[in-house]
């Protein structure tokens, strides 16, 4: 699965479309940003993507973490956002009910 790399000049609508597309295909997406401006664009794109996916009835949540990435022989700290489905509490009750029979 490709990582979606966001810069400070990335268009949020385009990034949001990419996030939603990758998520629909893989049930998750990874977005990576380095620096305040890129992180801000990434968060805005994530909000738009959340809204796109909500229109399809898909609820997503995010987990951010630090990751070290090497760029032109230098180690830089990026922020990686993992977009995941919101795990629901709905349970296949029929499976357990069958025990009663």
Residue span binding a copy of itself (CB under 8 A) among the ranges 17-25, 68-76, 93-101: 93-101
Segment 6 to 65, residues that bind a copy of itself, using CB under 8 A = 8, 35-37, 39-40, 43-44, 46-47, 50, 61-65
The position carrying tokens 């268009």 is 11
Question: Measured from the CB of residue 47, what is the shortest distance to a copy of itself in angstroms?
Answer: 5
Q: Report how far Cα 4 is from the mean position of its chain's Cα atoms.
A: 9
Residues sharing a CB contact under 8 Å with residue 73, sequence separation 6 or more, in sequence order:
none
Question: Measured from the CB of residue 81, what is the shortest distance to a copy of itself in angstroms?
Answer: 8
What's the DSSP call for residue 86? P
Is 100 a binder of a copy of itself (CB under 8 A)?
A: yes
Distance between CA 61 and CA 82 in Å, rounded?
8
């Amino acid at each position: 699965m490709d990582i979606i790399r966001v810069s400070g000049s990335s268009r949020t609508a385009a990034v949001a479309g990419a996030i939603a597309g990758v998520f629909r295909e893989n049930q998750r997406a990874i977005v990576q940003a380095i620096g305040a401006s890129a992180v801000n664009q990434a968060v805005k794109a994530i909000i738009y993507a959340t809204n796109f996916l909500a229109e399809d009835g898909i609820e997503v949540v995010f987990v951010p973490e630090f990751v070290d990435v090497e760029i032109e022989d230098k180690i830089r700290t990026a922020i990686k956002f993992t977009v995941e489905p919101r795990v629901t509490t709905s349970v296949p009750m029929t499976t357990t009910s069958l025990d009663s029979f």
